[in-house]
Every structure is written in C-alpha cells, then in structure tokens.
Structure 1
Amino acid sequence: MSASAVRARRLAALLLGVAGTTGLMWLFGSLEARWVALGWVAFVPWLWVLDRASSRREAVLGGVAIALSFTAALFGWFPGALQSYSGAPLALCWLALLVLAPFMELQFITFALARHHLRKAPQEGPLAFWRVTLTGALVYVGTEWLCPKLFAETLGQGLYASESLRQGADIAGAHGLTLLLLVGNECVLAAGKVLVAHGPRAGFRRALAPLAVLAALVLGGFGYGQLRYRQVAEHKTQEPELVVGVVQANITKYEKLAAEMGTYDVVRMILDTHYQLSDALLQNRKLDLLVWPETVYPTTFGTPKSEVGAEFDAEISAYVTQRRVPLLFGTYDLEQQREYNAAMLLGPGRDGTLARSAYRKTMLFPLTEWVPESIDSPWLRERLPWTGYWKRGPGPQTMALPLGEGRSLTLAPLICYESIFPSYVAEEARRGAELILTLSNDSWFSGTPAPKLHLMHAAFRSIETRLPQVRVTNSGISALISPTGEVLTEVPDNHRASLALAVPPTPHLSTLMVLWGDWLRPTALLLSVVLLLVPSRLARWKASR
C-alpha cells in the first residue's frame, strides 16, 4: 500500500473517531436523563483513534480535530449571538470561534500528547495501563484549570441530568465528575480491546479488572449521591421559609429600544412594567425580598447623571418605602468616575430610614463588559465599539438582609457570569452565606441553548455549597434551585412572569468544595507533572549510576 493510501486511511480513521465522540458528547451534553449513560463511553471512539497515532504530530492533530469538532457542535449557537451583539459578519464570528477553539479546548491536545507519550514508554501490564489512564485524566483536568475557558464547560457537567451522580460535585466540583468519566471511558476501551483481541470467552477474564473499576465508579457515584440527597432531604429546621418575589419582564435589547423610543420612554416602560408585576405579587402574598434582574435599571443609582435620573432614583426609593419590602435590583454604581455593574439592595433601615448597600460585579465577561487596561486604547475602541467600560469589583462579598424580629439572612450575591466560577461562590459560602442570589441578563442568548447551560452552571454552585439559590433574569431562565441542584420552579426563556418563591431553610451541610474551594484542578495539574516527569528522571538517574 502506498504512503498516500496509508495517510488517507489514517485520516479517515481520525475523522471517524472524532465524529463518533463528537456525536456522543453532543447527546450527552443535551442534559437529558436518557443520554446520561453515554458519558461513560463518549470518549471511546476518539481514544481508539489516539491509540493508532504513530507520532506526536498525529496525536496533536487528533487533539485539534476534536477541539474544532466539539466547539462547533456544542457552541454552534455562539457565532449567531455574537453577530447579534456586535454586528460583525456571521462568517467572521464563526472564524473567530474556530480559530480560538484549540486554545479554549486545549485539554484535548495536552491529553492526547500525554497519552501518546506514556503509551510509547517501555512499560507493559496493568501498571502501565493505570499510569496512562490516571495521568491522562489528571492532565485533562489540570489543563482546564491552567487555561480557563470562556464558558467554563467540562465533561462532567453532562452528569447534571442524573439526580444521584451530580451530587458528587460537592467533593471536587463538576471537574471531579470529569475525572471519573475519563477513567471510566478508558476502562470501557480497555475491556473492548481485550474482548475483540481474545474473543468473548478468553477475553472476559482479562476484561474483568477494567469492568470492575467501571462498575465501582458508577455504583459508588450512585451510592454517594443517594446518601447526600437523603441528608439534604432529611434536614429539618425550625426556621420559617423565606418568600422571595422574582420578576422576569422579558424586556430586552435596551439599546435598540432606546434608539426607537428614546431613553426616557424606555426607562419609564421598564420601571412601570416591573412595578406592575411586583404589585401583582405583593397583593397576594407578603414577601421577604423582591428581586429584579441584572441591569434592569440601566443607569447609575444614587449618583444620577441628570435631573430625570434623580427623579427615577427617588421613585424607586419611594416604591420600596411605600411597599415596605426590601428590593434587590441590577443597576450601575459610580465611584470616582469608575462605573460598576452592580446589585443594589434597598430596604427599610432600623432607624426608619431607607438603608442601601451595593454589590459590585467582579468577574466580567471579556470585551463586552470589560477590557483589561493593558490593551485598552482608542484604537481598540474605534474598531470594537461594542466593548464595555465597566470596572471590576472587589471580589466575593456577602450582603445582610434584615428579616425583622432581629433576624437577618446572609446573601451570596452573584451577577450573571460569576455563577460559572466554583471558587468564587465557595468563598461567599465560607463567609457565612445562607442563600445564593443570582441576577442575570441572558437576553443576547435567548432562543439558544445558552440559558439552559447557564442554569446548569448555577445548579452546580448550589450542589457544591449545599445552598439554595434564587436566580432572576430579564428574559429567562429564572428559577429556584434546591441544595441538591434540582430546579424546583422556573420561568422559561422568552417568557414574562412574576413568581413568589418559597425558599427552604438552608441545610448547613459542610462540603469539601466549600472548605477547600476548587481544589482538584490545581492538584491535578501538579500530580500530572509529577507523573509525567518523575519516572523518566528516575530512569535517567539509575542509568547514570
């Protein structure tokens, strides 16, 4: 067979393996319970391709190919959303996504390289298999920490659709589930190879070890999940439920509306709509807290830029005073010419005055909300006029919500993008938070899978901290999330509604994620370096003696 024919066959095998894994991961990533089992086999076609790689170049090619395919399949909605936001040509948005894909999904490439390197080492037997398996999984997870992703996705998030398996995220986050899935896939591949090579009868005994490990991972995950689920369900407290009113007005694209109606009329419409929906709640039930979404008041509060702005500020304050209900809403906060995306809490103070406190968003979405000062320039602003001007807040904070009778509740405020960062939320939990309260604006992604994915991220933060969560968005998906990650109530995407949510008392269960934060990924990176370098260094040292 000619060299060109061999290369063609290798390329065909690569494309087949990449296509198989991409299709399985696409189904697994749909977050539907019927596809959960695919997570344990999704990587097998691609791993089979990597085992056939004869050089580092082929291993890298396999990593790049799956990075491109994975990104296009699971984030194919993003170029359209980016075009809608920036006005750039759709083809250019697609090109940007695909060019960045190998960097955003670098873990595929480093995993492929590490696995190829270890498989070429002169070792055989079970020890070699487990070294390849564990080191590859650690490299994968460690790379995801070393090179943070725009959407913070990881393979283990697909297990959210399993009520039991997702509970393991309180140990090491969704990345801990990723580690288990990678090991499980290696076990499936090893068992399959043995059965194919030796036949069902002779190969079954050799396949017992990897199959036993796979069974232990799955059954152990289910067992732990059921244990933690029961612990949360059985927790009882004498504290009353907290009633939170949420408003999802489904008013989007403020800039377009302002151009058509004028800024004053748009703000007037936004506030009047939220007043109306809020009053509908207050007429039927007493609320402990009323929440409006991120940037619902699209100007600075407390430092008005005009007389009209001062009138709107006074109107919102008067609404809180007259209804006698605390209000948390998204706005801008201004200090010394530095503007922040903020959550403002207004409520009756103990001395009869209106108390005010603000939380400033720290984790800003790159470019659209924040530009690093090192690259910010008139040249950049001229070419990317949609870039944001907000400054970063001081980091994780908590807010105290007075409840009357001397009681108060400690809130963990989050704004939009911050809900995808496990360590950030864990730090707020360590500060005594009893309820996660997320304000978000997902309107630019309405009609895509993004609102569902963002909700899934938020649910993992509740699992990791064992805290209930109220999530309020302007266009969806607003929700009440339990400490087990279950969405108890939701307002779908692109709907208008207001709900009174009865938040269950906090279970006060400790988790490793709260104690140590996002501990697994840096640990995985360190261990992977040790496992990759130490054996070869020892071999060289022994050879030199």
Structure 2
Amino acid sequence: MNEIVHTIDDDTTEQDRLELVQSASRRHNQAAGWIDNSPDPAAGAKRPQPTGSTPSTAVHRFWDPLRLLAAVATGSAMWISAPDIDVWWLAFFGWVPLLWAIHGRSPKFAFFYGWIAGYVAVFVGFYWMGELLTRFAGFGTAGAAGITSLFALFLGLQWALSAWITRLVCDKTGRSTLLIFPMTWAAVELLMSTISIFPVHMALSWAWQPLWIQTAEIGGALAVSFVMIAINAAIWECILSYIETGKLDKVAVGTLAAWMIGVPAYGWVRIKQVDAAMQAAPQLRVGVVQGNFGIETYSTPGMKPLLLRELQRVTAALQADGAQVVLWGETAYPYGRFSRQHEQDLEPNDRRRIQRGFDVPVIVGLVTRDATGENPYAWNTAWVLDRDGRWGDRYDKNYPLMFGEAAPPGVDPAWYLDKIPSASHLNRGDGPAAITAAGYEFGALICYEDILAGFTREVANEGVHALVNLTNDSWFGKTREQSEHLGLAVFRAVEHRKGLLRSVNAGISAYVDPVGRVVEQTEVTDSDADLFRGAEGFAVDVPMMSAERRTVFGWTGSLFGWLCIAGLLGVWASSRYRRPRAAASAEPTA
C-alpha cells in the first residue's frame, strides 16, 4: 500500500485512486494464487484463498506439473542431503516444496504427492540394494531395479502417510502445519520403524553434525527428525504468511528462531558436559581390525589361510600400539563353524588357531555350531577370546536377516531349506547381553542391529561401558550403503552416551565417541572387484562411560514418538469437542 500512498496527490481523481487500489489488490491475489495454484479472483474467481489451516473446497487436478516437480524436489533433497553426498544443509528446507505441493489440496492428493517424494528418496537412497541383487541373487539390472522399486513404494509410505495425516488434521482442526507436520512425521517414523527391516530416519542427513543431534539423548533419532521437520514447517509457514498477508507470521518466526537457536545451543552445552565426563572416565585403548575381504574372497578356500594371517598380523601390530582389547568383524574368522563346546582356542599346531603372534583379548566374529548335533543350525556369534587363550563371554545375533540368514518367523526352517536349498537359517540369540573383555562390559551388536534403536537400548541397559558392532557390509560392494549404515549407527552413541566401535569386514570401520563424532574411520574396499590389499586397523583410546548411568532415551525409549501420536489424537479430539460447543453457543435463546 506504500506505493499507493506515495502515488496519490491532490490532483488524483477518485477514479484514479480506485484503479490504484484495485491494481495492488490484483497483484496480491495473484501471488496468493501462485501458492494455491488458483485463478485470479479479479478474473472471476469467487472462493477465498485457503491458508495453512483452512481446507480448500476447489476441485484441483492431481497431475499438476509444478506440484509433482515439488514432490520430486523434496524426495531428491532427502538423498542429496544424506550420506554419502552429504549436502546436509538441504535438510533445513528440503521439505518446503512438498509442503507447498500439499497446501490447499485434499488429503488424497497429499498422500500421493508424499508417496512420490518418498519413492524418489528411497529408490535413489537405497539403490545399493541393486548391487546385492545383481551380484549375489542372480537378478539382472532390470529385475534388481524392480525389486528396489517395490521396496521404495513400501518405505515411501512414510512420506505418503505423513502428508495425508497432516493435510487431514490441518483441514479438520484448523491448525497450521507448524506443529502438526513434525508430530505426524515422528508418529509415522516410529510406526514404520517397527514393521520395516531397515528403518528410515530423516535424522540421517545430520549424522556428521554433532551440534544438531544431541537431542537424540532425549527422544532418540526420532527427536532429531522431529526438529528437522519442525524447522521446515516453520520456514514454510513464514513463506506462506508473507505471500498471503504481506507480513511474516510472528508465531512462525518465533518458532523458527527457537529451533535455530535453541537446538544448537543445547548441543553446544551438552557436548561440553559430555566431553568433561569422557575425560574423567577411565580410558581403554581398543584396536579395530578390518579384514578388507569381500564375499567371494572370503569364500575361496585357498584364501582362508592368508585372511587369517592378515587378521593376526594386524592384531599383533595393534597390541604393540598399546591396544588392550581388539575387535574383529562379523564372521571374520574364515574357517567354517567353530564348536560352541570349545573351552579354549585350537592347538598351536593347528593352522586354524586364532591366537598366534599376540595375546591381547579379542572379540572375535565367527559362526558357531552345536557339536552335539542337538541343534542342526548355526549361530552368528561374537565371542571373547581371553589373553590366556580361553573362551569367555559370548553373544549371538538376535536379528538374523529374514530370507538372507533365517527363515521368516513362524516358518519351519527344515521346510524352508527343503524348498529353497540355496537359503540358510541361523538360530536367534537369547536376547541382549553384555560381554566382558579386559575388565569392562561391552554391549555387542552384530550386523544391522546397530541401526535398531529399540534393541540397542536393551543392550545398553544391560550395564555396559561401550558398544561394539561387528558387521559385514561386503554384500553391497562400494556403494553409499556403508556410509548410510555408519550414519544411522552414530545416533546409538548419542542416545546412550557410550562410545561405539565398529569392525566392518570391508569398511567402514569406525569409532564414534559419546557425542556422535566419528573420531576414526577407514575406507570401503572391495577385494572381489579389486585386488586383496591385506587387512588394516586402528587403535583408539575409548572412555569407559558409567555402566549404570542412563540417558532420558535409555529410560523412556520410544516415549517421545508415542507422545507425538497422543498429541495428534488430542488435537483431533479437542477440535471435535469444540465444534459442538461452538454450535450450541451460536443457537438463539428463547
């Protein structure tokens, strides 16, 4: 309106004034029309513009090119911001295009726009599945892409349901997306993580940003996802209010400022506090060995003596570097199945003996069997070989990968193996367990168990000083899978304020400290495609944090996600309660 005031003078006629006002009004409505993709009211449109909290009654086309492109843009922002591309700052506003796409649209349209975004994010982000399917499952490129596509359609529901519920609740309650959208995403992320083999957390985009992920100690990776989505929603509400009214909504601006200042401030304070606790804790020098062998290399009989010698060579070198305990990768011991009835290592003249050239305690990854024959199936095991060559504590993998390592739940393994002779079946472990090595308690996790927040919480609550993960990511070649796996595992360290040590057969092996910093890490190798270059490793001083102390997340687990679900239900219920009261108060009295 300022331009109208400055344009009008004493000689301006009433007709000129009217035209100036109409012109300014037309430009404002055209801008609002761009947000809602609606016709110019000056051209004959009669309906009001919907806001972030009011439903649209107009009929729209689903195949709106700009909105479809916006959904694709959000999906692309997800995989571009995540490891291993790591344009992490995209996560601050990557959701805004999708929020624009679903604005003023029906919940049904919002569902499909969200599904498109999720499909794009998962298909590209999880395309490493194709490496597994083509190299080891016999699929061609097209078949592998088809399987990955089905996987993306399923996990894409996380975006679809979030968009649908957000639009539904906003339309029915009159609320904006400011709080509804982050609560919805957290609720859906929680529920989807319980039914998916590989959980998807938006927090992954900030895995290498310790300042932004310290809230994980309160509500897990879910809380970090909530913060990320809340920032996006606040930015969207600021944009929307400015275009619709020409002013920034004060609540949206205040909310955005609170997130952008409060979260890193909290992170800075907690990092300082945890750093002090780390310095005060006893230090244990831990060695991590990476065998650098792929699946085919490991399966070649003639390579087994060399693989074992390399593991022994690096272990001895790490002991010379001061390591007090050493970690080997998942099933790194190359010689078949080791009897669970063994009380000590093999004889010195047996070439399969583990302890040779060193006497430091080792947490060994190996396949074990029952020598009595009572149980015909094997276990995926982490077993402590003590300094004196005797076997100590043992942990068996609790979550063997369905179809890849075990028959589906409820299916008889004998029948399953008879029908699919190329399949395998491993026994499940007896639950979470702490294993003792070098006088300290370690929480053992095997393979992808370190991305399972609920199970890791059970392990951490066993009273451990640090977490260890034995993994074999060689199935995926050199892809982004290894970076994504490590990125998701980072949150386990922050959630429980325990150091996390990972020995991964072909990378990425790493040490993540209790504030989420990746202090040490190796490169990814693929001896099946390249030449075997020998084993490698590193030694690092690890604080043995209090085994008794728990974080908020350690005490409450998924409570934060359930509170988000309760919040959504509460908003919905209160809106339905208010409407009858409002209608009753509007009735004329006699």
Smaller-chain TM-score range?
Answer: 0.7 to 0.9
**SS of the residue 2:502 aligns to:** strand
State the distance in 1 between where 2:450 and 2:322 align.
28
Residue 300 (1) aligns with residue 337 (2): yes
Residues 304, 310 of structure 1: 8 Å contact kept: no
State the distance in 2 between where 1:234 and 1:278 align.
31
**SS of the residue 1:437 aligns to:** strand
For 2:517, the equivalent position in structure 1 comes to 486
Report the AA paired with residue 326 of structure 1. P
Root-mean-square deviation over aligned CA pairs: 3.1
Report the AA paired with residue 232 of structure 1. V
The alpha-carbon deviation at position 500 of structure 1 amounts to 4.2
Distance 1:288 1:175, change over 3 A: same
CA deviation vs aligned residue, 1:373-426 (integer Å, no higher than 9, x gap)? 43457786577555331121122110112x3xxxx1011111111000122222
For 1:137, the equivalent position in structure 2 comes to 182
Residues 476, 492 of structure 1: 8 Å contact kept: yes
Distance 1:371 1:527, change over 3 A: farther
For 1:460, the equivalent position in structure 2 comes to 491
Report the AA paired with residue 281 of structure 1. L
Residues 165, 221 of structure 1: 8 Å contact kept: yes
**SS of the residue 1:331 aligns to:** strand
The alpha-carbon deviation at position 137 of structure 1 amounts to 2.4
The alpha-carbon deviation at position 229 of structure 1 amounts to 0.7
For 2:289, the equivalent position in structure 1 comes to 247
Q: How does 1:125-524 map to 2 (within 5 A)?
A: 128-129=175-176, 132-148=177-193, 149-199=196-246, 203-204=247-248, 207-235=249-277, 240-254=282-296, 258=299, 261=300, 263=301, 265-282=302-319, 284-298=320-334, 299-303=336-340, 319=355, 323-335=358-370, 336-348=375-387, 354-375=390-411, 381=417, 386-401=422-437, 403=438, 408-494=439-525, 496-508=534-546, 510-524=550-564
State the distance in 2 between where 1:486 and 1:324 align.
31
Q: Which runs of 5+ in 1 are unaligned?
A: none
State the distance in 2 between where 1:122 and 1:421 align.
35
CA deviation vs aligned residue, 1:503-544 (integer Å, no higher than 9, x gap)? 232344642112222332233334333433553366469879
Residue 29 (1) aligns with residue 82 (2): yes
**SS of the residue 1:504 aligns to:** strand
CA deviation vs aligned residue, 1:301-331 (integer Å, no higher than 9, x gap)? 12599xxx977996565726x7322121111
Q: How many residues align?
A: 511
Give the stretch that moved more between structures: 228-237 or 452-461: 228-237
Residues 293, 439 of structure 1: 8 Å contact kept: yes
Residues 332, 366 of structure 2: 8 Å contact kept: yes
For 2:111, the equivalent position in structure 1 comes to 60
State the distance in 1 between where 2:67 and 2:281 align.
58
Distance 1:135 1:496, change over 3 A: farther
**SS of the residue 2:338 aligns to:** coil
Report the AA paired with residue 329 of structure 1. V
For 2:11, the equivalent position in structure 1 comes to none
TM-score using structure 2 length: 0.79
Residues 135, 532 of structure 1: 8 Å contact kept: no
Residues 245, 498 of structure 1: 8 Å contact kept: no
**SS of the residue 1:235 aligns to:** helix
For 1:528, the equivalent position in structure 2 comes to 568
The alpha-carbon deviation at position 427 of structure 1 amounts to 2.1
For 2:25, the equivalent position in structure 1 comes to none
Distance 1:430 1:334, change over 3 A: same
**SS of the residue 2:286 aligns to:** strand
Report the AA paired with residue 145 of structure 1. L
State the distance in 1 between where 2:450 and 2:358 align.
30
Residues 232, 507 of structure 1: 8 Å contact kept: no
**SS of the residue 2:386 aligns to:** strand
State the distance in 2 between where 1:499 and 1:40 align.
36
**SS of the residue 2:166 aligns to:** helix
Report the AA paired with residue 203 of structure 2. G
Distance 1:147 1:169, change over 3 A: same
Report the AA paired with residue 140 of structure 1. W
Residues 415, 439 of structure 1: 8 Å contact kept: yes
Distance 1:178 1:327, change over 3 A: same
Distance 1:346 1:196, change over 3 A: same
The alpha-carbon deviation at position 116 of structure 1 amounts to 2.0
Distance 1:538 1:197, change over 3 A: closer
Distance 1:19 1:104, change over 3 A: closer
Q: Which runs of 5+ in 2 are unaligned?
A: 1-37, 39-58, 526-532, 586-590
CA deviation vs aligned residue, 1:327-362 (integer Å, no higher than 9, x gap)? 21111122422321111111146xxx7243211001
| Aligned residue among 67, 71, 86 for 1:14 | 67
Report the AA paired with residue 551 of structure 2. T
**SS of the residue 1:301 aligns to:** strand
Give the stretch that moved more between structures: 504-513 or 63-72: 504-513
The alpha-carbon deviation at position 450 of structure 1 amounts to 0.9
Specify which structure has the higher proportion of helix: 1
| Aligned residue among 94, 100, 109 for 1:42 | 94
Residues 241, 502 of structure 1: 8 Å contact kept: no
CA deviation vs aligned residue, 1:280-311 (integer Å, no higher than 9, x gap)? 333x3343112211011242212599xxx977
State the distance in 2 between where 1:108 and 1:217 align.
22
CA deviation vs aligned residue, 1:412-445 (integer Å, no higher than 9, x gap)? 1111110001222222222211011111101112
Distance 1:382 1:52, change over 3 A: farther
The alpha-carbon deviation at position 62 of structure 1 amounts to 1.3
CA deviation vs aligned residue, 1:43-79 (integer Å, no higher than 9, x gap)? 11011111142x3432222122122111122222222
Residue 51 (1) aligns with residue 103 (2): yes
Residues 176, 520 of structure 1: 8 Å contact kept: yes
Residues 288, 538 of structure 2: 8 Å contact kept: yes
Give the stretch that moved more between structures: 296-305 or 512-521: 296-305
Q: Work out which of the two has the higher radius of gyration on C-alpha atoms and give 1 or 2.
A: 2
State the distance in 1 between where 2:254 and 2:282 align.
46
